[in-house]
């Protein structure tokens, strides 16, 4: 599998937009999800661990899942995360983790998954009854957020109503959306939602 983030991984954490986005999403998760030291969490599309680093101190363990080995190498290099974080470089659509989680979180990864219906179904199958998801991604945009030639982008954000329908289809309840952050690129503002829902 091609690592589409191989060239970006080295400097990922130094990008101001990425730092601000990750801080905003992490803060929104902490403010809106009840975290505790018995929780086992999956960070889907964990990348270099910018969200994982904020959540790990507050929970029992974070399983950082990504298909980019170069991004996960950056995460592993962060000394403070080693005791709390397990790394999995695999595609959970074809290779489930075999574990069940109290929370699955994700930041800006869902638009990189071609089959949104399938990934929501897979999240549900990895959650304990009564567990939650906290997923952040772009609100529907006009296709200008990413360069037109970028690989691995399958969605120009999501309509919240459509995303809610998907969650309901796969047995989620108590679904709530918040705007976690706004990304400013030149003259355009791109809102980022955080949706929190509970597995029925």
- 36 within a domain of the structure (yes/no): yes
For 131-182, write each residue's pLDDT tens digit: 999 999 999 999 999 988 888 899 999 999 999 999 999 999 999 999 999 9
- 177 within a domain of the structure (yes/no): yes
C-beta of residue 34 within 8 angstroms of C-beta of residue 97: no
Task: Find the domain containing 115 and state its range.
Answer: 17-199
∠ CA 123-127-132, rounded to 5°: 85
- 183 within a domain of the structure (yes/no): yes
Asked whether residue 4 carries a pLDDT value surpassing 80, the answer given is: no
For 20-76, write each residue's pLDDT tens digit: 999 999 999 999 999 999 999 999 999 999 999 999 999 999 999 999 898 898 898
- 6 within a domain of the structure (yes/no): no
**How many separate domains does the chain show?**
1
- 11 within a domain of the structure (yes/no): no
The per-residue DSSP string of 183-195 comes to: EEETTEEEEEEEE
With 0.85 as the threshold, say if the pTM is over it. Answer: yes
| CA-only gyration radius of the chain, Å | 16
The CATH number of the domain holding residue 131 is: 3.40.50.150
For 89-112, write each residue's pLDDT tens digit: 999 999 999 999 999 999 999 999
């Amino acid at each position: 599998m091609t690592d589409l983030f191989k060239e970006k991984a080295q400097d990922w954490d130094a990008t101001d937009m990425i730092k601000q986005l990750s801080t905003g999403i992490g803060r929104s998760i902490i403010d809106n999800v009840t975290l505790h030291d018995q929780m086992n969490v999956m960070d889907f599309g964990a990348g270099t661990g910018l969200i994982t680093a904020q959540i790990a101190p507050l929970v029992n363990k974070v399983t950082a899942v990504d298909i980019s080995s170069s991004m996960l190498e950056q995460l592993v290099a962060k000394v403070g995360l080693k005791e709390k974080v397990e790394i999995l470089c695999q595609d959970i659509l074809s290779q489930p983790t075999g574990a069940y989680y109290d929370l699955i979180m994700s930041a800006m990864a869902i638009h990189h998954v071609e089959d949104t219906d399938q990934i929501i179904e897979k999240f549900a199958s990895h959650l304990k009854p009564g567990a939650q998801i906290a997923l952040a991604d772009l609100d529907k945009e006009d296709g200008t957020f990413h360069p037109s030639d970028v690989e691995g982008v399958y969605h120009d954000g999501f309509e919240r109503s459509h995303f809610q329908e998907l969650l309901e289809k796969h047995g989620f309840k108590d679904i709530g959306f918040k705007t976690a952050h706004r990304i400013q690129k030149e003259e355009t503002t791109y809102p980022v939602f955080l949706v929190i829902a509970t597995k029925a």
